[in-house]
Structures are given as C-alpha cells and as structure tokens.
Structure 1
Amino acid sequence: MSIQIDWFAFVQVACAALLAAAIVVTFYAIGLRLLVRAGRAPVVAPAEFTDAITVITEKEARRAAKAAAKAARKSPLTEFQKRLSLVGAYASFAVCAAAVLGGLLLIVFNH
C-alpha cells in the first residue's frame, strides 16, 4: 500500500492559510487604529491570573481610562471625521469576521 501526497494541494492550503491570517491580522489592526482615532479606545478591566502574568491594579486601570478619555477630548478631529473613523473600524472588524466565517464555512461544507 502506497500513500500519495498531492503536494500542489498542500501548497494551495498553506498559501490560503497564510493569506487568510494576514488579512485577519491586518484588518484587525486597522480596525483598532481607527477605533482609537474615533476616540473609543478599548480599556480592558484587570483580571486575576494565577501565574506569571503581571496584573494591573484598579488604580492603574482608572488612570488608563482617564488618560484615554482625556485623549479623546483633545482630539483635533471633527465629529464627522470621528464618525467616519468609527464606521471604518466597524467595517474592518466586519472584514475580519467575514474571513473567519468564510474559513469555517469552507471547512464545514467542503470537507
């Protein structure tokens, strides 16, 4: 019994995976950048972890939220530019979601 490997199909899958990963990471980064530009910087609350992760204190979290709010107030952008950045951020996140959903659909229905 001999096993045959279709190397061309293997290269196609590898290239598709690299391309999809690049698309998701790029559009997620663009979405985060536009979200910050729109004055909606995501502030994550501190979490408790068991090992090897530095946890910020409540005071540091409040300070970060205060700094983000101050930066949003000092933004030189007009309200239209902020709104346009917010729409662009949501569109970038939608592209990420579509890429992930498309990959899942390919796995489920073309298996």
Structure 2
Amino acid sequence: DAPLWCLTRGAVAVSPGESVPAPLQAAVHGLGRVAALEYPHRWGGTVDLPDTLDERSAERLAAVLADPGGEDQLAVRPAAVFGRRLAAVRTGTPRDWQPTGTVLITGGTG
C-alpha cells in the first residue's frame, strides 16, 4: 500500500517572522499527526505548503514525496524544506511572572 500523506497550506510557521495565514489548516495538520499514531503502517507524513505554490516549491514537494528521508512532519518553502525539531534554548535571567488578564493553571497539583 502507498503511504498516506496529509498536505496543508499555510498551517505552520517555519520562522519567527512567518505568519500562519490559515489556522483552520493547522487543525488539519494536527489531525494528520493523530492519524500517524492510529495508522503507523500506512502513514507517510504531513507536509505544509506555502500560500503560493511556485515551481521551486512544487519540485521540493515532489522530492519529499519520493523520498522523505525518514521525516514525517515537513514544511516546504521556496527556500528549503523544513522538518520539525526540538531545540535547546538558552536560559535567560529569571524574571518574576507578572500575568495580565485571566490565567488558568492546570496540572500544578504536583
């Protein structure tokens, strides 16, 4: 059986300056991540496409679908193909938490 891929457009941001123009697509992207758990034997992955699919992005998409390189959460952009990663963040100076508005804390009972 061929792998199942979930394609979205504008569902994820790959850099701090990039917006998410289609929040409803983000829900579909999340559904794809759940499908990966339900059907791991059929799952290809999720691929987010840019707002406008130019020729370069289309070539990158074809390359990803032909050989995802073990990745299953990707974002195709004209500049590159991005994979989801966890990255260490430098800890800064501790600051006192000063919330504004309504705050709901869950799981804080230890």
Give the alignment's TM-score, normalised by structure 1: 0.26
Larger proportion of strand: 2
